[in-house]
Structure 1
Amino acid sequence: MFSYKSSMATPIRLLPREQREGRLREAGYNVFDLGADDVFVDLLTDSGTGTMSDAQWAAMVRGDEAYAGSRSFERLRAAVSEVMGFDRVVPTHQGRGAENVLYGLLVGEGDVVPNNTHFDTTRAHVAENGGDPVDCPVEGADDPDAEGAFKGNLDVETVRTLAEDVDAERIPAIVLTMTNNSMAGQPVSVANVEETRALANELDATFVIDACRFAENAHFVRRREDGYADRPLAEIAHEQLSHADALVMSGKKDGLANVGGFVAVRDSDLFDRAKQRAILYEGFPTYGGMAGRDMAAMAVGLREAVTEEYLEARVGQVERLGERLYEAGVPIYTPVGGHAVYLDAERALPDVPPKAFPGQTLVCELYREGGVRGVELGSFAFPGADRPELVRLALPRRTYHDEHLEHVVETAAAVLERREGIDGLEIVSEPENESLRHFSAELRPR
């Protein structure tokens, strides 16, 4: 097993239970409003929360902060070309900036955008531009116990039927999220990528891959898809993206950086338009909301992300957490994905009715019990969607150790031991855009 040596340490502390309960009340039972110092093990997200390598820190020292024509941008563009196969790159401050740039160009009023499963900001950006975001997961994806090597795939026949119902001209883009974050981090097969490419050709639609976790996806392809067992991970990562017309990327995931993202496209006209929109919303096209040092760090991180040693350690740690939770009797979504373990809140808290948000209730109880912060990805985060009540425990990259994993397992098991006394939550206030309500809504115990 490949491991890392710590070069920097950050002290953390577990607040007394009484203080944790007070912090939870003050936060309106929404863990997004907890302070970082209130949290002992923070699994809210793996986005930008990981630990960078010494090579990335070294690259930051050499960052070029030129407003235009930065050498750091050239290094980032070269890394995107080498690792992902796209030469036309528009940097942004993070993934949602990339979504704003690209979907603001592709999506208009009355359009329909199919996706294997939209994540929260993707759904919101499509809707904000007047489009209808439609989830098209494969059969069994919403069943935490269903078997399947690639439960993150897009159901191409569902999209075909959708195109017949709404008129194909109303579908400007088909999006494939890789891995499928909203569906428990499940991977997408290369065969499904190829099928989606063919479908996009049929519908004359732009094929977009949300590539935030493309490296982790390549790891699963090599493990599970016929014909890839002996292929280098970097080669697989490159191939699976080769069929797309465009990428949106948060470098805070498989870019192994703390900030940043980009849009990458093949079409020269779309590239020119993306640069103009980026100037308006992000910054000049050779920095796009990022400092030069951050672009330099991401350029190194993209290359590190497709190495054998890194991916074995990364996915292996997530698997170990899943195995330990399962052995402790905590219901989880299987198979375990690449960046997070997803808890099945409906089975964990069977006495909490669906209207009382069992997922968000479990999130709050994990914090109350052991200072562990996760995030709900069920009916609270996706109102009106027919999906399982999941709680995501996302592991920051190269950050936590086995002792932290054991604490998470002990915390979850302790919550289950006292679950009969847990009643659920109700919403007190929420923002107008309900697609983003889980970031800022306030709740209270029923």
Structure 2
Amino acid sequence: MAERRRSWAEPFKIKMVELLKTTTPEARRHAIEQAGWNTFLLRSEDVYIDLLTDSGVSAMSDRQWAGMMRGDEAYAGSANFYHLRDTVEEIYSYRHTVPTHQGRGAEHLVSKLLIKPGDFVPGNMYFTTTRLHQELAGGAFVDVIIDNAHDPADPHPFKGNIDLEKLEALRARVGAERIPYVSLATAVNMAGGQPVSMANLRALRAWCDEHGIPIVHDMTRVAENAFFIQQREAGYRDRQVRDIVHEICALTEIATMSAKKDALVNIGGFLAMNDPDLYRRACDLVVVYEGLHTYGGLAGRDMEAMAIGIRESVDDNHIRARVGQVEYLGALLDRAGVPIVKPVGGHAVFLDARRILPHIPQHQFPAQALAAAIYLDSGVRSMERGAVSAGRDKETGENYMPSLELVRLTIPRRVYTQAHMDVVAESVIEVAGNAGQILGLRFAYEPEQLRFFLGRFEPVSPA
């Protein structure tokens, strides 16, 4: 007799709720026009279900809130720093930790410490702030992710993998001395939350050892990546997520972390490493930009909540429910025929805006237009991940036109119920069914850097 699949439920119960406000179509139209058709510029009070990001918006546990009451707010040598440091070493393997206010603080430090003008930084697809810090330090990002990652419909189970042939071709062209490190993201955000396999990471480790090049691990969503290894890679089905996370991290020597994602806190991050000399240099630099090396711009209570959240994030029951909710939404949309990135990633469902809006050319930003249309329909806030996020080529001034033109429905951890996901799915299905009515957009105001945050748009009238 075949084993019956049993349902799972969230591994928590609700102790406190935040009341939501529903909005009218007229109010939403006014709000999105005032925001310049940019969902980042909407006021939170005008949003019904907020899927803009999973960064800093997760629900903390009672243990985390209790821990915040134990905040040691000493300027130097906070007890919470030492708890965080020891937790990072135990769970993630890195021996030295420098707190930062969030992940981009760590990206800034590592870029200034390791990159020289004229360097090339290979990585498995760019991330916006990561690439900008690399460029500001004088480096040039080079994408070495496998080709499968650029095809939303490709079912490859590990689309975050690095293509070692592309990496070797870069080394042969510029020399190992001009590659300060390989930038490795686990659960690659811009590819749709796609994971890296342990086999690929081991092969990368061997290549880096051969050429004396370190790996800088963007470990923002490492627990989600570990879950996919557990579920998809041979030999890991009976391993705990916590052990897989440790194995991933132990194959790298430096890491940047935005704790606002996996680690379940509202603010915070860190730069971690094994090299004591690099740690000393990082401590010297963090004082300039973030704060003393034992607080790095954070309150003691925030470091305590982070240490507790790290342990909760690698619990198998937590991560199964977290990814399960994302997969639930993805399955609803897939069954309805809405084009999405497959396989569904760990933190978000990514809509394929090019296929949903084939009548809008990419230079009129179909993903931005689709995100605005979803908000207009239901008050659900999502975000663009396409040409707007990609920015412009500094040499030519032309827009980058990435192969992936996506809208990200990003699910905060421990915040929404499955009923909220039903509402989101119904809205997306409705909008996709009436996609022909959506107009393209053009910039009304374009910032020089990271334009997806503050850019303003206006609809393009049909010809």
TM-score (norm 1): 0.98
In the alignment, which of 37, 40, 47 is matched to residue 39 of structure 1? 47
CA contact (8 A) 2:362 2:401 kept: no
Q: CA deviation at 1:168?
A: 2.0
Q: State how far apart, in whole Å, the 2-side matches of 1:81 and 1:259 are.
A: 20
Q: CA deviation at 1:167?
A: 2.2
CA contact (8 A) 1:233 1:307 kept: yes
CA contact (8 A) 1:48 1:259 kept: yes
In the alignment, which of 62, 66, 79 is matched to residue 71 of structure 1? 79
Partner of 1:274: 282
CA contact (8 A) 2:382 2:409 kept: yes
Is 1:389 aligned with 2:402?
no
Is 1:212 aligned with 2:241?
no
In the alignment, which of 300, 311, 315 is matched to residue 303 of structure 1? 311
One-letter amino acid matched to 2:96: R
CA contact (8 A) 1:91 1:287 kept: yes
User: Gaps (5+ residues) in structure 2?
Assistant: 1-7, 392-399
Q: CA deviation at 1:23?
A: 0.9
Stretch moving more, 418-427 or 48-57: 418-427
Partner of 1:411: 427
Is 1:88 aligned with 2:104?
no
Partner of 1:182: 190
One-letter amino acid matched to 1:429: Y
TM-score (norm 2): 0.94
**How many equivalent pairs are there?**
444
Is 1:10 aligned with 2:18?
yes
CA contact (8 A) 2:52 2:383 kept: yes
Partner of 1:340: 348
Q: CA deviation at 1:155?
A: 1.1
Task: Map 1:45-444; keep pairs closer than 5 Å.
Answer: 45-383=53-391, 384-433=400-449, 436-444=450-458
Q: Deviations over 1:232-257 (max 9, x none)?
A: 11111100110111000011111111
Q: CA deviation at 1:206?
A: 2.0
Q: State how far apart, in whole Å, the 1-side matches of 2:342 and 2:110 are.
A: 33
CA contact (8 A) 2:205 2:252 kept: yes
Q: Deviations over 1:288-325 (max 9, x none)?
A: 01110010001011001111110111010110010011
- Secondary structure class of the residue paired with 2:371: helix
One-letter amino acid matched to 1:414: E
Q: State how far apart, in whole Å, the 2-side matches of 1:409 and 1:2 are.
A: 20
Q: Deviations over 1:163-209 (max 9, x none)?
A: 11122211101011011011100001111111221222233222111
CA contact (8 A) 2:374 2:380 kept: yes
- Secondary structure class of the residue paired with 1:273: helix
CA contact (8 A) 2:370 2:438 kept: no
One-letter amino acid matched to 1:35: R
One-letter amino acid matched to 2:27: Q
Q: Deviations over 1:243-275 (max 9, x none)?
A: 111000011111111110000011111000011
Q: Which contiguous aligned blocks of 4+ residues in structure 1 show a shift greater than 6 angstroms?
A: none
User: Gaps (5+ residues) in structure 1?
Assistant: none
Partner of 2:5: none
Q: State how far apart, in whole Å, the 2-side matches of 1:421 and 1:254 are.
A: 38
- Secondary structure class of the residue paired with 1:285: coil
Q: Deviations over 1:329-374 (max 9, x none)?
A: 2111000000110000011112111111111110110111111111
- Secondary structure class of the residue paired with 2:141: strand
Stretch moving more, 310-319 or 418-427: 418-427
Is 1:445 aligned with 2:453?
no
Q: Deviations over 1:55-104 (max 9, x none)?
A: 11111111111111111011111110111011200000000001111111
Identity across the alignment (%): 47
- Secondary structure class of the residue paired with 1:380: helix
Q: CA deviation at 1:15?
A: 1.4
CA contact (8 A) 1:118 1:177 kept: no
CA contact (8 A) 1:328 1:409 kept: no
Stretch moving more, 252-261 or 200-209: 200-209
CA contact (8 A) 2:122 2:143 kept: yes
Q: State how far apart, in whole Å, the 2-side matches of 1:160 and 1:227 are.
A: 28
Q: State how far apart, in whole Å, the 2-side matches of 1:386 and 1:376 are.
A: 12
Q: CA deviation at 1:385?
A: 4.4
